[in-house]
Amino acid sequence: MKTFSKLGLVAVFALASLNTYAIEGDFLLNVKKRTGNEISFSLNGQQNVIISIYDQENNLLFTEKASGKNGIIKNYNLEEFPQGKYYLVVENKLKSVKHEIAIDKKELVVNRKAIAEVFKNNAQKIVATINK
């Protein structure tokens, strides 16, 4: 009986922790390579985001606003992009996430882990993670 009570207490604590993690406006971004030089990404939950692609000199190459009630799925064909490093940036009012895309000899490599995740706090920006 004690084991069951302890297990129940742990389960309640875990569920409470998960509930606090689900902050309104927060999102999980999943980026992956598709066939050829296509990338695909998906966002969970209801979102209003700005999607941008930058080159390695930080020049804006593409931007669009996207929204979805049950999440967003986008596919981009980068076939015409020359060799080099590019950055996919997805941001909303709460945070900005940056992924690296490398095109080498027409082979596309996507870093599935974000290289930067910036949480916004009013006018301040707080860099949470940098993976390089």
In order of start, what are the domains of the chain with their CATH numbers? 24-129 (2.60.40.1930)
pLDDT of residue 117: 87
pLDDT at 131: 58
Residue with tokens 């742990």: 10
Q: What is the pLDDT of residue 21?
A: 36
Give the model's pLDDT for residue 132: 55
pTM above 0.85, yes or no: no
> For residue 25, what pLDDT is reported?
45
Closest CA to 32 of 73, 80, 83, 92: 73
Confirm if 51 and 67 have CB atoms less than 8 A apart: no
Distance of CA 43 to the CA centre of its chain: 7
Cα gap 40→29, rounded to integer Å: 10
- Which segments in the chain show pLDDT lower than 50? 4-26
CA distance 46 to 15: 21
Return the pLDDT at 30: 67
Residue with token string 């009570």:
5
Give pLDDT, residue 22: 37
